[in-house]
Amino acid sequence: MDIAAASFISHETLRQLRIGKPVSDLTKAAVERTLGWSRGSIDAVAAGGEPTLAPVTDPWKVAVNAEDIMTVLGGPIRDPEAYMASAKRLHLACLVDAEIVEEDDQ
């Protein structure tokens, strides 16, 4: 899976994150959501710890938060169709990470 694309961030931003350069908390949250990790897991891994999986009560109901989508889109929703396409891609990426659906199902 292309984590950058699934998180709606650039590959350069993902590279910055991987090499330990500062990135925004919103960027970290987008990547953590894509990976199915709880908030703060990226910082835990950077400190030598382990990520914590985000709780999912019903894996078929993985929620896509509108605020997170607005964050990765870079601002307010101006195009509802683009918003829905982004939400669907993020939701499916979460389902693939949770191994609920196959990548081919996307």
> Mean pLDDT, the chain, as a whole number?
76
Q: What is d(CA 95, CA 18) in angstroms, rounded to the nearest whole number? A: 23
pLDDT band at 78 (very low <50, low <70, confident <90, very high): low
Where do the structural domains in the chain lie, given as residue ranges?
3-105
Q: What is the pLDDT of residues 11-26, one digit of tens each?
A: 999 999 989 999 999 8
DSSP secondary structure code for residue 57 in this structure: S
Residue 61 is predicted with a pLDDT of 55
Q: 37 - beta bridge partners?
A: 53
User: Can you give the length of the chain in residues?
Assistant: 106
Residue that the structure tokens 């914590």 belong to: 52
